[in-house]
Structure 1
Amino acid sequence: MDHLVCFLSGTLALGVHNGLPKEHLTLAEDLLTTCYQTYAQQPTFLAPEITYFNIQGENSNDMYVKTNDAHNLLRPEFIESLWYMYQFTGNVTYQDWGWKILQGFNNYTKVVNGYTSIGNVRNPTNVRPKDMMESFFLSETLKYLYLLFSDNPKLLDVDKYVVNTEGHPLPVYKN
């Protein structure tokens, strides 16, 4: 499972909020939990780019990471879904998960002048900093963390704004 799939939980929750069947929220919650585990099962508490599932008995763990896929690019998709799920459910577990991930970013990717992608989420003593911070980290990842932790849960009201794939809020017009 590519980390990019983690946007789908938020999209499903948004769909339910706008009239799609309620069972989509169950799917959103299950997928969000799976995405969370891609973070929680790493000693850095940062998800790899790709996680594999043990469906053929090739590994003793339910999930595993191949060496070439162990990098973290500071992606926003999971944090975005945490924000949407928190918006629609009010479940503070999603804020707790976001906080743990922010701590992972601060502990393993923070550098003198910002944050950096890392090459290895599996080894906290050798994360292999890449000296590269994608622009989406500032424009999306940190924005969604800010919204997730905001004292004003309606700071960006999902009934008044839609957030495009680049994290930019656009007003919803009724006509």
Structure 2
Amino acid sequence: MRQHISRRSSLLPWKWFAAAAAGGIPVGLVWWLLAPGGLNLITRNPALADGTHPEVWLPRDLTLAGLCVFAGCLVAVFLPDKGGRDAQAAFLLSLAGGVGGAVIAWQAGVLAGQLWGGPADTSVSASVAFSLRSLSVLLLWPAATATSVFVLGLTKLLRSGPRGAGTPAAEGRAPAA
């Protein structure tokens, strides 16, 4: 007898890791485009165009934080919601990919700042250059994914209604009296 081996099911969870990690590149580029100290498309305030003002550093970190939360929620929405081993592996690998994606986003944004940003004198502080001061922002992507999966699962459970031992589960029909 020939044993049929399915490659699709064994490769499926790794797709979630790769997709979440690869998502870091556009997130990093959008971070540089939107954040103060980068291209600054949100405020377009010339005073916030470079990193010499300490007022720029917090909004720059918060911009990446918001993008990481959005990316984490987006990953959670596309995760398969069926139970089983593949869904659990996809969830765990998407969390690991989220950590990788956040690190890639950080480095892609810093690289974009070095390539397309103006020269920065970092002798006063390294934060003058386009950078991330709060590394804990990188944990928001997987945290948002985990929280969103929990909320989506809870919402699905609450919508389906209670299915206890005394409740009939026969396709919405009332039991005969």
Quick check: which one's strand share is greater?
Answer: 1
Query: Structure 1-normalised TM-score?
Result: 0.31
Query: Structure 2-normalised TM-score?
Result: 0.31
Mark the structure with the bigger radius of gyration: 2
Quick check: which one's helix share is greater?
Answer: 2
Higher relative contact order (CA 8 A, sep 6+): 2
